[in-house]
A and B are shown apart, each in its own frame.
Chain A
Amino acid sequence: MSVEAVATDEAAQLVGAPSIRSRQWLVLLKATLRQTRGKIGLTLTTVIVGFALLGPLFAPHNPNAFVAVPNLAPGGHLLFGADALGRDVWSRFLHGGWTVLSMSLAATLIGVGLGLVVGLSAAYLGGWADEVLMRIADVFMAFPQIVLALLLVTAFGPKVYLIILCVGISHAPRVARVIRGAAQQVVERDFIKAAEAVGEPRRRVIFGELLPNVISPLLVEFGLRLTYSIGLIAGINFLGLGLQPPQADWGLMIQENRLSLTVQPMGVLLPIIAIALLTIGTNLLTDAFARAAIGIDRGGD
Chain B
Amino acid sequence: MTRFLIRRILLGILILLLVSIVVFAATQGLPGNAARAILGRQATPARLAALTKQLHLNESAPAQYWHWLSGIVRGHLGTSAATQGSVSSLISAPLANSAFLVFISAIIAVPLSISLGVLMAVKRDKLTDHGLSTGTLLLAALPEFVIGIGLALLLATAYVWRALPSVSIIPPGEHAWDVPKVVVLPALTLILAVTPYISRIMRASMVEVLHSDYVTMARLKGLPNRTVIWRHAVPNAIVPAIQVSALQLAYMAGGIVVVEYVFSYNGIGTQLVNAVTNRDVPTVQALVMIIGAVYVLVNLLADLLTIVVTPRLRTAGR
Residues of A participating in the B interface, judged by any CB pair closer than 8 Å: 1-6, 9, 37, 135, 138-139, 142-147, 150-156, 227, 230-232, 234-235, 238-241, 254, 258, 261-262, 265, 268-269, 272, 275-276, 279-280, 282-284, 287
Contact = CB atoms under 8 A, between A and B. Distances in A.
A142 B244 contact: no
Given A142-B296, A268-B149, A272-B150, A154 B258 contact: no
Interface stretch (B89-97, B223-231, B287-295): B287-295
Interface string B1-43: 0000000000100111011001100111110000000000000
A229 to B, nearest CB: 10
Contact of B288 (A5, A151, A269): A151
A31 to B, nearest CB: 18
Interface string B168-204: 0000000000000000000000000000010011001
Interface residues of B, number: 60
A247 B291 CA distance: 31
Contacts of A284: 137-138, 141
B152 A241 contact: no
A266 to B, nearest CB: 11
A142 B149 contact: no
- When A and B form their complex, which 4 residue pairs have the shortest distance between CB atoms, in order from nearest? A144-B254, A231-B143, A283-B141, A2-B251
Interface string B262-286: 0000000000110111010100100
B251 A151 contact: no
Nearest to B162: A262
Nearest to B299: A142
Contacts of A275: 143, 146
Contacts of A261: 152-153, 157, 166
Contacts of A4: 247
A227 B11 CA distance: 31
Given A145-B254, A283-B137, 16 more contacts: A5-B244, A5-B247, A139-B19, A142-B15, A151-B26, A151-B27, A151-B288, A155-B28, A231-B145, A232-B143, A234-B143, A241-B273, A261-B152, A261-B157, A280-B138, A283-B141
Interface string B218-255: 00000000000000000000001001100110110111
B158 interface: yes
A279 to B, nearest CB: 4
Contacts of B26: 151-152, 154-155
Contacts of A1: 251, 254
A232 B158 CA distance: 29
B304 interface: no
A262 B143 contact: no
A2 B248 contact: yes
Given A144-B295, A150-B276, A231-B143, A265 B15 contact: no
B26 to A, nearest CB: 5
B86 to A, nearest CB: 19
Contact of B197 (A3, A139, A280): A3
Which one of A6, A145, A230, A268 has the greatest number of beta carbons of chain B within 10 Å?
Answer: A6
B129 interface: no
